[in-house]
Amino acid sequence: MKLIGWGLFAALLATPAFAQNPRYQPDPEWRAPAEAQARENPLAARPELAAGGRKLFIRNCVECHGRDGAGMEKKHSADLQLSLVQQQSDGTLFWKITNGNAKCGMPSFSKLPELQRWQIVLYIRTLKP
């Protein structure tokens, strides 16, 4: 009994990326339609609004993605710093935040006002490994 406990403890310690998710693999079926991908961020010329996006991110997203956006292995949440996320268009990220991917645990944030969702996209662009 005790041995099993220590074994688990050791296994947890041996997991290097416990609080982030560098091995994140996106769901290949979760794809934004072409017109959504092509949408441009209406706030693109106002990068200073990323600060407000950060506040929204802390309020809505941190429980699963962590403060630095690196995701969490135990929640299978995306590491938003990864290039496989960063290389997606603003419109794609906006669409994913809006619609979520319920079957994989990413909620929809369509209730947040549109400009706030674009502000969050500005903030995601500031996340660096």
The contact set with ligand HEC (CB under 6 A) reads: 26-27, 30, 57, 60-61, 63-65, 75-78, 80, 85, 88, 93, 96-97, 101, 104-107, 109, 120
Please state, in angstroms and rounded to a whole number, the distance separating the CA atoms of residues 72 and 81.
Answer: 12
Cβ-based nearer residue to ligand HEC, 37 or 101: 101
How many alpha carbons lie under 13 Å from residue 24 in its C-beta half-sphere?
27
Cβ-based nearer residue to ligand HEC, 39 or 76: 76
Q: How far is the CB of 45 from ligand HEC (least distance, A)?
A: 21
Phi, psi dihedrals of residue 51, rounded to the nearest 5°: -60, -40
Cβ-based nearer residue to ligand HEC, 37 or 88: 88
Phi-psi region of 79 (alpha: psi -120 to 50; beta: other; left: phi over 0): beta
